[in-house]
């Protein structure tokens, strides 16, 4: 590295202030250095120095931009991982919802066959687990989906009643 020396000189104050007002901070020093290089080494050497300095600035700017790109790519990769995890979770939830609907469909088949749906049955418990809800929620869903089925189908048969709830309904559709 070249040894540096401080150069000080006097110039009219108003000229210095006017020049400063027209230049960005630090530009006057750069212009004076360039002019001194030009006087000492000729115009070509001063231009070469200016080009080398500019080239180094451009290379540093490129390094900074490449680092920014790498950081942004890391951010994008992390977002992609998060998206993947959310999509997997959504798939699991959709699969569970499909399984829940499947168990409800089986329970509906039982209902329409006359089988009583009891809150403590294994099928109801399984549906509640798959639906991530309570046994009562499953029964409520079945009642909502099957408004034509009487409430007697959703309770245990009393000692004097038939096991099949449909046996208690007469041909007109009302309970015996």
Digit-coded pLDDT (tens) for 127-167: 898 888 999 999 999 999 999 888 888 887 677 666 677 77
Average pLDDT over every residue of 30-53: 76
How far is residue 28's CA from residue 70's CA, in Å, rounded to a whole number?
Answer: 36
pLDDT at 175: 46
* pLDDT score of 36 more than 80: no
Strand pairing partners for 56?
none
Q: What is the pLDDT of residues 42-52, one digit of tens each?
A: 666 667 877 88
**Of 37-41, 51-55, 104-108, 128-132, minimum mean pLDDT range:** 37-41
Check residue 44 and give its pLDDT.
Answer: 66
- Which pTM value belongs to this model? 0.47
Query: 155, 143 in Cβ contact below 8 A?
Result: no
pLDDT number for residue 18: 87
pLDDT attached to residue 63: 97
Q: Mean of the pLDDT values across residues 99-121?
A: 86
Would you state the pLDDT for residue 27? 85
In DSSP terms, which residues pair with 169 in a beta bridge? 175
pLDDT score for 121: 79
Across the chain, what does the average pLDDT equal? 83
Q: What is the pLDDT of residue 46?
A: 65
For residues 134 and 63, give the distance between their C-alpha atoms in angstroms, rounded to a whole number.
Answer: 59
17 to 22, 126, 132: CA distances (angstroms): 9, 86, 77
Indicate the burial class of 165 (C-beta count within 10 angstroms; 0-12, 13-18, 19 or more). Answer: buried
SS (H, E, C) the chain: CCCCCCCCCCCCHHHHHHHHHHCCCCHHHHHHHHHHHHHHHCHHHHHHHHHHHHHHHHHHHHHHHHHHHHHHHHHHHHHHHHHHHHHHHHHHHHHHHHHHHHHHHHHHHHHHCCCCCCCCCHHHHHHHHHHCCCHHHHHHHHHHHCCCCCHHHHCCCCCCCCCCHHHHECCCCCEC
């Amino acid at each position: 590295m070249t040894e540096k020396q401080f150069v000080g000189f006097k110039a009219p104050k108003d000229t210095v202030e006017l020049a400063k007002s027209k230049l960005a901070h630090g530009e006057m020093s750069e212009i004076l250095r360039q002019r001194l290089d030009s006087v000492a080494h000729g115009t070509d050497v001063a231009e070469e120095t200016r080009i080398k300095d500019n080239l180094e600035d451009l290379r540093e700017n490129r390094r900074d931009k490449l680092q920014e790109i790498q950081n942004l790519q890391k951010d994008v990769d992390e977002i992609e991982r998060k998206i993947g995890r959310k999509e997997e979770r959504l798939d699991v939830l959709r699969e569970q919802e499909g399984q829940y609907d499947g168990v409800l469909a089986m329970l509906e088949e039982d209902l329409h066959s006359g089988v009583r749906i009891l809150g403590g049955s294994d099928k109801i418990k399984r549906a509640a687990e798959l639906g991530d809800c309570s046994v009562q929620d499953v029964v409520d869903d079945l009642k909502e989906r099957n408004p034509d089925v009487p409430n007697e189908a959703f309770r245990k048969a009393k000692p004097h009643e038939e096991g099949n709830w449909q046996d208690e309904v007469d041909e007109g559709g009302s309970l015996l």
